[in-house]
Amino acid sequence: MKVSKFGGSSVATAEQIQKVLNIINSDNERQIVIVSAPGKRHDKDTKTTDLLIRLYEKVINQLDYQHKKSEILERFNDIIKGL
């Protein structure tokens, strides 16, 4: 049995996720897979983990968080559309 861990850049885009799926499917011994939150798609991008932290900070400070929430949802919707 193999445990595989894929970091944020490995799952940042639909194309990268497809590569991860190919790696997983190429070896039947890979039975446990751990993935990070999607990372940066390019140099000026923000990691999903950082977006989630910023969302949390807005919520606990009772600030408007809708834009940050939409930004996170858009990131995942872009990935889904590409798969």
Phi and psi angles of residue 52, each rounded to the nearest 5 degrees, phi first: -65, -40
Phi and psi angles of residue 29, each rounded to the nearest 5 degrees, phi first: -75, -15
Contact 10, 19 (CB under 8 A): yes
Q: Is 4 left (phi over 0), alpha (psi -120 to 50) or beta?
A: beta
pLDDT tens figures, 11-57: 999 999 999 999 999 999 999 999 999 999 999 999 999 999 999 99
The pTM assigned to this predicted structure is: 0.84
